[in-house]
Structure 1
Amino acid sequence: MPINFSRMNRFVALVVLCLLFIQLASAQILAAPQLKQQIVVKAEEYMNAAVKVNRFSGSILVARDGKPLISKGYGMANLELDVPNKPQTVFRLGSLTKQFTAMAIMILQERGKLHTNDLICNYLSDCPAAWQSITIRSLLTHTSGIPNYTSLPNFLQTMQLPSTHANLVERFKNMPLEFTPGEKFKYTNSGYYLLGMIIEQVSGKSYPDFLQENIFAPLGMTHTGYDSHNRLIKNRAGGYELQDNSIINASYIDMSIPFAAGALYSTTEDLLLWDQALYTEKLVSRQILAEIFTPFKDGYGYGWGITKRFDRQMIGHDGSINGFFNSIIRFPSDHVTAIVLSNNQNAPSGEIASSLAAIVFGAPYKMPQERKSEPLPN
């Protein structure tokens, strides 16, 4: 019987290719733990420097494909009681709250209860004439022109006092707009405060209850909620700030003041659940998610900033409130996330998150360094 050398050559070639594939796959399996270990070592080195130089205190979590590469606490959650920070430590989020407020609005849109093109005066009573052309989208994208109430001259004197919605809105309601709505971007907490009021008006529920029922509970975010001085919240961190190079307790703020612009608390672990949900349709459709992450003016979407870093799309936001400074950045194409929550108001959390992401991608980053004092000129 004649031998078919052509068929035999194809068979041999196929066997060789299979062996090469097995070797390559084995090498990748071996390399993955080594690569993870390199990332952990570099991240630890960086964070130790951040603790020493920047006096960082808080928790970090860096994940790829939803799995933590490093998740660790640094410094103290409570300095008076010597309680260390850990991955389960609860931090006030500040403006990271805005991404949840934006999601709540979009959940209501998907249910047909409102639309981002709607005028806000359809939902707010006693609406001033200057606001008549402002849409919900303008509030979401910081393009309303409404002055920022946390920048008002008397804010530091009034932030400690509980306030009703009506009383707080009265502080900026009759002020002239800073520009024609939709004309430009200017960050304003006032817009997100009003979005919280719209959520309550449309849903018939309080802002905390709506988020709990429609975001936190469905995602299993059991350590996330609306902060309150009166509530007993397990593992809650105290907030601190630097004054004359000494750490002091942060100034008190009543949590009725930040409301939907910055009153939530969470942990790094819960925020990873949130991050992972944004790759799915657990909360809203992909069409709605695309709208949330579409940049408007100055690269701002709905509660998120959208830009490029390390030649990749980066979606993120910082959050600052008395005693805390936080950052979350996401790289959707790589499924990489860096979360930094700090209970030191002066911590460079955004820079830390970016550097940790750079370590994952093998990109350049700068180690925290002590500033050298220079001699005064003669």
Structure 2
Amino acid sequence: MIISLSRRCLTLTLLCFSFLFSACHGQEVPDPGAADAPQLQQIRELVSTYADYGEFNGAVLVAHRGKVVFQEAYGQANMEWDIPNTTDTRFRIGSISKQFAAVVVLQLAAEGKLDLHVPINTYLPDYPANNGQQVTLHHLLTHTAGIPNNYPSTKPAMNRPDAYTAHMLVEEFAALPLEFTPGERFEYSNAGYNLIGYLLEIVSGSSYEELLQERIFTPLGMKNSGFERHRALSDRRASGYFQAWGEYYNANHVDMSTVFAAGALYSTVEDLFLWDRALYSGDLLPEAYRDLMFERHVPDPSYDAHYGYGWSVKEKPLGDSGEEVLTLSHDGVIDGFCALLTRIPSREAIVILLSNVRRAPLNTMTKGLMGILYDQPYSFPRRSVAYSTLEVINAEGIEAGIRYFHSVKDDEGHYLIEDELNIISYRLLNADRADLAARVLELGIEQYPEAFNLYDSYGEVLRKLGRIDGSIANYRKSLELNPENTNAVEMLKEMGVTPD
């Protein structure tokens, strides 16, 4: 069997596996002036559908005109212990962390302690002058400094987590040549934001973690937000996962001290709503500095947007209407987690989506939710024919599964792709259900008679079942359709057959 997916197809496969999650309802705070009952029901139905199709496992909060209109949680905070997510579950938020660094910088600038447009050597005299005399805080905040984002790690190995210092992180790239003249263009750089965190520590004399706590989290009452530490016990902390071949796995360990100011924070949907409200109120920044944070400082061609200070400034679609509205947003992705925070200033609205699975269609979900808020048309996700067929097979048997397959394969609310049929056959084969895997591949070949990979897989399954003549015939067919299929050549040789 050959499992070979493009990155695009793999992403679709991972997002669309239909495993049914139960919804864990958190506190709802509907406001009659902010969303009517039909809107509330529409939001619930849309998000629940994503959760039921296995595409969303996490927490969501939607606010409109400054009031929370919907907040619920779905799926599991810990899948091994069957512990549900709640609206106060703590999720890693990845690069959403950058906007918190930006606020601390602007607070110190408002206090006259930092200048955004002088060389960083002003504050870091030991930083290599060939770079430090060119780069400013403005460049770092806008990802225009030219500091490399990818470079060989030179950090010493540690025998315990949470031990890397900001200085160790900065030493890795400080002397490397800049990739372009500062200010020339946008090039996303986590290293640049780690340098911001280090500079803040040097200027303030406090740790970056202390600065966040003293200047943001404590004043705003964000009691469920902080700097992620591996060893520290943390109430209601979600475990992180990723999907592969329709199965969930524990995410790889990340030492968050290496992520630092670029993305080491955790939070909840409720705390991030407090953050949103504070950005309107002026509790954190004077108006002039708040406006500076959200200014379109530099084009970001990769996202068809502009970048401010820790925020993406972009016109986003309102459902399927074709209309757009100005948003301030940022996503965050780190092993086992993804997040998206989207503010709509003209309505004082916000959509917050936090997931403890590495990939989820958060932008598509946000598009639909924005459509609902603006009474515009929107779309529901389509369900995977392959994965929902597998559910029926597991629950009711192969004949029921085949009947189900034929009943939904052409339905507009479902989608069918060859690779997913291959994947579920592989899952059945690995579960010692080769006979069922063969039936699934027969369905696949019926739908995709020119798909060499399905014939290759069918050859493997038939060989497992002892049906050698059939196996040889299918490997030959696969090779006929794709003469470059070296796997078919090797399998035929193993069975004593010389490929044609």
Q: TM-score, normalised to structure 1's length? A: 0.86
Between the aligned partners of 1:202 and 1:335, the Cα distance in structure 2 is 34
Equivalent in the alignment of 1:19? none
SS of corresponding position for 1:63? strand
User: CA offsets, 1:56-95, max 9 Å, x none?
Assistant: 1100000013321110000001111111111111111100
**Following TM superposition, by how much is the alpha carbon of 1:337 offset from its aligned partner in structure 2, in angstroms?**
0.5
Q: Work out whether 1:47 is the aligned partner of 2:47.
A: yes
Equivalent in the alignment of 1:60? 60
Between the aligned partners of 1:350 and 1:305, the Cα distance in structure 2 is 13
Between the aligned partners of 1:332 and 1:347, the Cα distance in structure 2 is 25
**Following TM superposition, by how much is the alpha carbon of 1:153 offset from its aligned partner in structure 2, in angstroms?**
6.0
User: CA offsets, 1:18-76, max 9 Å, x none?
Assistant: xxxxxxxxxxxxx9479522122111221122123343110000001332111000000
SS of corresponding position for 1:231? coil
Equivalent in the alignment of 1:14? none
Equivalent in the alignment of 2:409? none
Structure 1 segment 141-180 matched on structure 2, within 5 A: 141-148=142-149, 151-152=150-151, 162-180=163-181
Percent same amino acid at aligned positions? 41
**Following TM superposition, by how much is the alpha carbon of 1:377 offset from its aligned partner in structure 2, in angstroms?**
5.1
The 3 A distance-change label for structure 1 pair 372 and 328 is same
Q: Work out whether 1:252 is the aligned partner of 2:253.
A: yes
Structure 1 segment 1-378 matched on structure 2, within 5 A: 32=32, 35-128=35-128, 129-148=130-149, 151-152=150-151, 162-298=163-299, 299-309=306-316, 310=318, 311-369=324-382, 370=384, 371-374=415-418, 375-376=447-448, 378=450
Between the aligned partners of 1:206 and 1:245, the Cα distance in structure 2 is 42
Between the aligned partners of 1:250 and 1:257, the Cα distance in structure 2 is 17
SS of corresponding position for 1:176? coil
Between the aligned partners of 2:256 and 2:78, the Cα distance in structure 1 is 20
Between the aligned partners of 1:376 and 1:143, the Cα distance in structure 2 is 48
Q: TM-score, normalised to structure 2's length? A: 0.66
**Following TM superposition, by how much is the alpha carbon of 1:173 offset from its aligned partner in structure 2, in angstroms?**
2.3
**Following TM superposition, by how much is the alpha carbon of 1:350 offset from its aligned partner in structure 2, in angstroms?**
2.7
Between the aligned partners of 1:52 and 1:71, the Cα distance in structure 2 is 17
Q: Indicate conservation of the 8 Å contact 1:54/1:347, yes or no.
A: no
Between the aligned partners of 2:381 and 2:152, the Cα distance in structure 1 is 34
Equivalent in the alignment of 1:15? none
Between the aligned partners of 2:82 and 2:219, the Cα distance in structure 1 is 34
Q: Indicate conservation of the 8 Å contact 2:332/2:338, yes or no.
A: yes
* Matched letter for residue 117 of structure 1: H
SS of corresponding position for 2:342? strand
**Following TM superposition, by how much is the alpha carbon of 1:366 offset from its aligned partner in structure 2, in angstroms?**
2.5
Q: Indicate conservation of the 8 Å contact 1:143/1:183, yes or no.
A: yes
Between the aligned partners of 1:244 and 1:171, the Cα distance in structure 2 is 36
SS of corresponding position for 1:248? strand
- Structure 2, gaps ≥5 residues long: 1-30, 300-305, 319-323, 385-414, 419-446, 451-500
Structure with the bigger RCO (C-alpha within 8 Å, sep 6+) is 1
* Matched letter for residue 323 of structure 1: G
Between the aligned partners of 1:206 and 1:145, the Cα distance in structure 2 is 26
User: CA offsets, 1:236-266, max 9 Å, x none?
Assistant: 1111111222111110011111101101111
SS of corresponding position for 2:257? coil
Bigger CA radius of gyration: 2
**Following TM superposition, by how much is the alpha carbon of 1:181 offset from its aligned partner in structure 2, in angstroms?**
0.5
Q: Indicate conservation of the 8 Å contact 1:99/1:302, yes or no.
A: yes
Q: Indicate conservation of the 8 Å contact 2:98/2:310, yes or no.
A: yes
User: CA offsets, 1:166-196, max 9 Å, x none?
Assistant: 3322322232222110000011101100000
SS of corresponding position for 1:265? strand
The 3 A distance-change label for structure 1 pair 58 and 178 is same
Between the aligned partners of 1:34 and 1:67, the Cα distance in structure 2 is 7
User: CA offsets, 1:93-130, max 9 Å, x none?
Assistant: 10010010000000100111001112112222532213
Between the aligned partners of 1:72 and 1:304, the Cα distance in structure 2 is 25
Q: Report how many aligned residue pairs link the two structures.
A: 346
SS of corresponding position for 1:179? coil
SS of corresponding position for 1:256? helix
Q: Indicate conservation of the 8 Å contact 1:54/1:348, yes or no.
A: no
